[in-house]
Structure formats: C-alpha cells, structure tokens
C-alpha cells in the first residue's frame, strides 16, 4: 500500500506539473493574441490618422477655434465650432484619400496609407461617412444659419474630391469653403452677425492660394492620371506664382480692410508674406509653398485676434 500510495502521489504531482505548464502556455498564448490584436488596432488607427490629411485638418481646426475666441464665443461655443470644423475636415480628408486610391495606386504613392496598406479602403470610407454624419449636428448646434453655412462649405469640399478637382473650377470649392468659415464663426454669436466682407474675401483668397500651393508637388502625377484642374493646366511655375499672389492678396485684405490706420504688425505681415512667398516660389515642385501658406495663415490669425476682439 505505501508503494501504491507513493505512485498515485507521484502521478498527481506529474499531472499538476503538466496542468501548470499547460495553463502557463495558455496564458502566454492569450497574452500573445491580445498583444497582436492591440498592435493591429494601433496600426489601423495610425493608418486612419495619416489618411485624414492631419496637418491641414489640425491647422484649420485650430485657426477656427482661435477665430471663435477672438469673435467672442464662450468656451462651449468655441468647443462646438472646433468640433464641427474638425469633423468636417476629417470627413473631407478621408474622402479625398479614398477617392484618390485608384490614381495613387497607378502612380505608386507609397506615402499614402491606402497604397501602403496601413489603412483599408472600407475603414477609410466608413470613417469619412461617420465624420460627415457627426459634422451635421455639431454644425447646427452652433446655430441654424451658421450650421447651414458650414455644411455648404463642407459640401463644396466633398464636391472637389468627387468631381471638381479635375475641372477648370478646381479652385472654387477651396475659395467657397474658406470664405464661409468666418461666417460660420460669427453667425453663431448672439444676433447672428455676418462677418465684414474684407474678412470673407481674405479667407477666400487664402483658400484659393492654398489650393494652388497644395497641388504643386503632384502636378505631373495628376496629369498622368487624368486630373486636369486649373493648376495642372497652368503648370507648376505659373501656379506657384498665382498661389503667391492670392495669398499676398489675402494678407493685404486683412491689413487694409479694417477701419483705422495700418498697424506696424500689419506692415510687417505684408513684407514678411511677400518675402516668404518669393522664396517659396523658387522651389515650386516641393512642399515648401504649401507650408509657407500655412505659416502665413498662422500670422494672419494673430492679426485677426487683435482686430476681431470684442
């Protein structure tokens, strides 16, 4: 009996050892599966983030929030303006990458998440649709007329992605969407005032200039895939020059439009804008012109803060 008892005990110990090892392996396997799922989710999220055109999306949202503060919105109003603009920008960015997938594949644009495989076409399409749906209530929450104005601008940007980018009026959706942005901000204030015409003109000119500057690096690829907007028809050098003139005109409208004397900052802004655009136009094939436009827009917002502060 003692010998049999010992054998049974040894068998039990061996079973416990096997069970413990199996449990440990099972736990490690589960942890591995969990880590893999998290890695895949993180990669998909990173791909979606890159596909939304993050630099212009963040810049336009930030500029809108600053304009809302300068115009007199309280924290809830600023949050609604920023949220609506962010949703609209995300929807436009994702729509753009999904619409351009065929052309990006044809030209080997490995910098695009959909071409590189870091984002799936279905995920980007769903993200664009959901962001657009979210944009509607957020825009209307700022005010009925304000929301309608903003949604017209977002619709213009979608129209650019889906059709107008390949036409001679490719600049018009940019001019319309940017030109209406100050109206979205001010119409949400008590009494629903429209912004001054010089402000809307300055924003429209900046938007048109941003369009010409943004497409400069891709003109050859665009023409090869059948996209013949106005910048592509004009060519890189003439488009770079026109982008500079439009952005300089935007700065001039901001400086000369408001009543009163031009400030030292205003004169400095004009001089710095002209110099920066002249230097950027010497490299029309790169991203420098567009980044210069973004920098000028930031300087413009600083001027607006002083001019629109109630």
Bigger pLDDT: 26 vs 225: 225
Of 195, 228, 245, which one is at a domain's C-terminal end?
A: 195
CATH number of the domain to which 264 belongs? 1.20.120.1780
Residues 55 and 200 in one domain: no
pLDDT of 89 > 90? The answer is: yes
pLDDT of 4 > 50? The answer is: no
Q: What is residue 277's three-state secondary structure? A: helix
Q: Which residues, at least 6 apart from 168, have a Cβ–Cβ distance to it below 8 Å?
A: 229, 230, 233
Is the pTM above the cut of 0.85? no
Q: What is the pLDDT of residue 1?
A: 41
DSSP state string for 178-196: HHHHHHHHHHTSTT-PPPP
Nearest one of 272, 279, 281 to 300, comparing CA atoms: 272
Bigger pLDDT: 262 vs 135: 135
Report the chain's mean pLDDT, rounded to a whole number: 83
Residues 134 and 226 in one domain: no
Residues 146 and 240 in one domain: no
With beta carbons less than 8 A apart as the criterion, state whether 293 and 247 touch: yes
Cα dihedral sign for 94, 129, 180, 185? negative
Residues 182 and 215 in one domain: no
pLDDT in tens, 167-208: 999 999 999 999 999 999 999 999 999 999 999 999 999 899
CATH number of the domain to which 181 belongs? 1.10.357.140
Residues 57 and 100 in one domain: yes
Of 163, 178, 195, which one is at a domain's C-terminal end?
A: 195
What is the C-alpha to C-alpha distance for residues 186 and 196, in angstroms, rounded to an integer? Answer: 10
pLDDT of 307 > 70? The answer is: no
With beta carbons less than 8 A apart as the criterion, state whether 212 and 248 touch: no
Residues 296 and 233 in one domain: yes
Q: What is the pLDDT of residue 13?
A: 47
Residues 58 and 177 in one domain: yes
pLDDT of 227 > 70? The answer is: yes
Residues 180 and 61 in one domain: yes
Residues 270 and 297 in one domain: yes
Q: Average pLDDT of 290-309?
A: 70
CA atoms within a 13 Å half-sphere pointing along the CA-CB vector of 196: 13
Cα dihedral sign for 17, 20, 22, 25? negative
Q: What is the pLDDT of residue 284?
A: 61
Q: How many domains does the chain have?
A: 2
Residues 191 and 238 in one domain: no
Bigger pLDDT: 49 vs 282: 49
Among 26-35, 120-129, 130-139, 178-187, the range scoring the smallest mean pLDDT is 26-35
Nearest one of 249, 245, 230, 216 to 172, comparing CA atoms: 230
Full domain range(s) for residue 91: 34-195
pLDDT of 8 > 70? The answer is: no
Residues 92 and 236 in one domain: no
Tell me the percentage of the chain whose pLDDT exceeds 70. 80
Residues 172 and 236 in one domain: no
pLDDT of 143 > 70? The answer is: yes
Of 161, 195, 229, which one is at a domain's C-terminal end?
A: 195
């Amino acid at each position: 009996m003692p010998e049999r008892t010992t054998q049974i005990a040894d068998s039990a110990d061996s079973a416990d050892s096997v069970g413990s090892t199996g449990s440990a392996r099972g736990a490690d396997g589960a942890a591995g599966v969990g880590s893999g799922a998290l890695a895949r989710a993180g990669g998909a999220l990173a791909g979606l983030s890159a596909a939304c055109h993050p630099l212009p999306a963040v810049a336009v949202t930030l500029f809108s929030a600053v304009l809302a503060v300068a115009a007199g919105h309280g924290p809830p109003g600023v949050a609604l303006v920023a949220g609506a603009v962010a949703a609209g920008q995300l929807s436009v960015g994702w729509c753009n990458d999904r619409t351009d997938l065929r052309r990006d594949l044809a030209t080997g644009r490995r910098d695009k998440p959909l071409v590189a495989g870091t984002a799936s076409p279905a995920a980007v399409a769903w993200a664009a649709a959901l962001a657009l749906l979210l944009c509607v209530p957020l825009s209307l929450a700022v005010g009925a007329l304000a929301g309608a104005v903003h949604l017209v601008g977002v619709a213009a940007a979608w129209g650019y992605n889906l059709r107008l980018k390949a036409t001679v009026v490719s600049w018009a959706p940019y001019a319309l969407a940017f030109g209406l942005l100050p109206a979205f901000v001010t119409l949400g204030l008590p009494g629903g005032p429209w912004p001054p015409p010089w402000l809307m003109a300055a924003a429209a000119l900046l938007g048109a200039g941003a369009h010409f500057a943004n497409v400069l690096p891709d003109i050859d690829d665009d023409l090869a895939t059948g996209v013949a907007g106005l910048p592509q028809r004009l060519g890189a050098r003439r488009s770079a020059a026109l982008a500079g003139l439009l952005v300089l005109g935007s700065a001039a409208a901001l400086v000369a439009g408001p009543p009163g004397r031009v400030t030292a900052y205003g004169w400095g802004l004009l001089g710095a804008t002209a110099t920066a655009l002249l230097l950027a136009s010497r490299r029309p094939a790169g991203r420098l012109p567009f980044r210069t436009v973004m920098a000028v827009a930031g300087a413009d917002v600083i001027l607006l803060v002083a001019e629109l502060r109630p």
